[in-house]
Each structure stands twice: as structure tokens, then as C-alpha cells.
Amino acid sequence: MVLLKIAFRNIFRQKRRSALTLLTMTAGFFMASLAIAFNVGSYNVIIRELTRNETGHVKIAHSTYRSTPDMYYTIDNYRDVLGTMEDREDVAFATAELFGSGLAATDTRSLPVSVRAVDPRRHDEVFSYGGRVTEGEYMRSQKAEVLLGKHLARRLRVAPGDTLYLFSQTAYGRVAEDIFSVRGIVSPDQQRISESLLLMPLDIAQEYYELWDRVHEISLVGTHENARNLAAEVQKSLSDPYIAEPWQEFNRSLYEAMQADQKGGIVGVTVILIIVGFGILNTVLMAVLERQREYGVLKAVGTTPGQVFGLIVAEMMILAILSILVALPLSWSGSYYFATEGIPLSDPFTFGGVVWSHIYADIIPLSFTLPAVVVGVVTLFVSLFPAMKAARTNPADTMRID
């Protein structure tokens, strides 16, 4: 306790030196925290946007459908499966989807389209598609109306209220043709989807393709961190030939690209942490070694080597703790700002089919705990050598130093 009192007294007695040491540690913590928030957090943002707003975290489908996306590989009696999934506590939302293709035509133009049929109310709850309608209104169940991706609508030169002809083939090989009203224009996150997307009410599509009470996929929303565990648990409740896959499996190319890119980011964060460590080392050495005369006086008045050693380590650890307490709110504020505002890019990039005009950080525990550990551990270790050197000081020699 006496050592702590002396340590505090020494810290506040040499305000300029203590402030410099504190500033170095705080700056190191802040830099490391933001580096982690951007490197790890930015990928969390991308994953969250893609899975929570577009694909879901787990998909249930026929075991053959993933490798051979044929219309015939369906989930029969899907309402039973959907009801079971909704009863699970680890599933926040569940929605069924049916996929098809066809030729959309107006009086003057025609283009191939990718049909995505969903329950309008449920799909809006899960993926907030109602908020992506830029023109017109969101579609309704039991109505022969569709939503078009904005790029597709532009190429077909149609607007809400116009009539659209859709030609395709049913599951039984018969010709399917019908007239639909364009209810609205939707802007999905991925441009390549927008170029061919035609959204249709699920009940209308089941009748159109003669796939009554059948769908191709059931998407589940939980958390992206728990997707693998959720898929494994869901699989236990499914009968053959249905399988449950996490987003890392049904979107494997994106996952592998992110893993490879993230490894390079980890190297960058490691370099920053090393720079932070050396900065703290330099500051601590300067703060201790320039006080050799002071330690000589302490030993001359009867202070033991162990007490000198403990005093130096205590001073440095107190400064480390103070720097962490100062840096935590600063780092949180910085992470919050960049998580909400992001950094605008002069040259937007495409990742996962989505155009990103900003880079965002994320508020994650790792961006605070790891820098705190680094500052604490580095300060402890770098204070050991000068503390041992001071403890072995010869009072007669050091007191001769001007």
C-alpha cells in the first residue's frame, strides 16, 4: 500500500513526463482499437448486410437442389417445415422462396428474367423489401402483380401500373403464360440481381408454375456467428432428402474470398500492435532510465532493491490502467462514428455482388479487449528490465550523475 501511495505521488509529481507516457499508451490503444474495428468489424458489417438483408443465415433445400438448381427439387409440404422452424428459439425469422425463370415482355421489348417468389408479408418482415421499393408500392398476396429490379425495369422501359407478359414452363412441362401488373420498382443491394429480378407473390407463382404447396428454399435468420451451429441443429430435425446449410456453405465463394482477404488484414493489425508495443517500450525506458539519480537516492536512504523494483512496475502499471480508462471512451466514440458514418470512398468497390461506397467499422468487444491486453502486457514486460536495472543501482555511482 505504501508503494502504491509513493507511485501515485511520483506520477503526479512529474506531470509532464507522466502525461507524455499516458498519451503514448492512449494513442497506441486508440490506433490498435480502430485497426481491429475496421479489419474485423468491416467484414462483420458486410456479412450482416448480405445475410440479414438478402440471403438469411441458414437455408433449407432439397439435397440435390444446391448442385442442380432444377425446378423439380422442391420442399414438399413446406408449411410444416416452416412452422417447425418458426417455433425454434434460435430462429428470429423464417421465410419460404420459390425460384423460376422466364421471358418478360412488353409490347416492344422482351428480356429473360429470374423469378423469385415470396410471401410478401413474411419476406418484408425478414428482409425489409418493402423499404427497397423506390417507385410504386410493395406487392400483395393473391394479386397478379410483380416487382421489378430497377435495372430490369429500365431496360424493359416499364413503370408502376404498366402491364407485363411472362412466358415460361411449368413443372410439368406445359407452357406457362400470364399477364401481370407492375406494382413497383425495387432496388436490391446487388446490382447483378437488379438486372434480372422479378419478384412475385408466392401463391401466384405456385399456381403459375404448378408447384402447389411446394417451394425450393426456406431461409432462416438467426445470427451469422451461430450459423453453423444453427444449421447442425436444424439438420437433426429434417428428414431425407432435405439439408440445412449455413451461409458459409451456400455462399462459399464469398466466404473464402473474405477469409483470404481477412488474413492480409490480420497481418496489418499485427504490425500496428507491434508499433504500439515499441512506442510504449521507448516511452517507458525513457521515463525510467532518466531517473537513475532518483533511484540512487532512494537506495541511499535505505530502500531495498525489491521496493525500488516494485515501485517502478507499480508506476508503469498505474499509467497503463489510466491510459486504458482514458482510451476506452475515446475508442468507443471513434468506433461508433465510423460504424455509423463510415469512410467515404472516392472509388467504390464491389464485394459479394454489392457496391460499397463507404468502409464501415464495427463495435466489437475484441477491438477493446485486445488493445487493453496489449497495453497492459507490453507495459508490464518493458518495465521489468529498467526496474531490475534500477534495483541494482549503486547509489554512490548514480548520485555522481549530473
Residues 262 and 393 in one domain: yes
Closest CA to 220 of 46, 68, 45, 52: 52
pLDDT confidence of residue 193: 67
Residues 120 and 203 in one domain: yes
Q: Does 238 map to a domain? A: no
**C-alpha cell read off for 2:** 505504501
Closest CA to 250 of 47, 66, 118, 25: 66
Residues 180 and 311 in one domain: no
pLDDT confidence of residue 192: 61
Residues 38 and 110 in one domain: no
CA 242/CA 60 separation, integer angstroms: 7
Residues 40 and 164 in one domain: no
pLDDT confidence of residue 355: 63
For residue 114, the one-letter residue type is: S
Q: Does 121 map to a domain? A: yes
Residues 285 and 381 in one domain: yes
Q: Does 348 map to a domain? A: yes
**C-alpha cell read off for 97:** 422462396
* Domain limits for position 103: 98-212
Q: Does 122 map to a domain? A: yes
- Could you give the C-alpha distances from 89 to 51, 84, 92, 159, 223, in angstroms and in order? 19, 11, 7, 42, 12
Among residues 212, 242, 271, the one where a domain terminates is 212
pLDDT confidence of residue 343: 83
Q: Does 68 map to a domain? A: no
Terminal Cα distance for the chain, rounded: 32
pLDDT in tens, 237-247: 888 889 999 98
Residues 121 and 43 in one domain: no
**C-alpha cell read off for 400:** 555522481
**Number of domains making up the chain:** 2
Among residues 142, 177, 212, the one where a domain terminates is 212
Residues 208 and 273 in one domain: no
pLDDT confidence of residue 124: 81
> Are the beta carbons of 83 and 94 closer than 8 angstroms?
no
Q: Does 284 map to a domain? A: yes
Q: Does 134 map to a domain? A: yes
In three-state secondary structure terms, 382 is helix
> Are the beta carbons of 393 and 308 closer than 8 angstroms?
yes
Among residues 190, 212, 234, the one where a domain terminates is 212
Residues 140 and 202 in one domain: yes
Residue segments in the chain with a per-residue pLDDT below the cut of 50: none
Residues 394 and 265 in one domain: yes
Residues 287 and 192 in one domain: no
Q: Does 206 map to a domain? A: yes
CA 252/CA 231 separation, integer angstroms: 15
Residues 140 and 35 in one domain: no
Those residues whose C-beta lies under 8 Å from the C-beta of residue 341, and which sit 6 or more positions away, are 358
pLDDT confidence of residue 143: 83
Tell whether pTM > 0.85. Answer: no
Supply φ then ψ for residue 76, to 5 degrees: -80, 150
- Could you give the C-alpha distances from 94 to 52, 87, 119, 123, 245, in angstroms and in order? 11, 10, 11, 9, 14
Query: The CATH number of the domain where 177 resides is what?
Result: 2.40.70
pLDDT confidence of residue 165: 95
CA 314/CA 270 separation, integer angstroms: 27
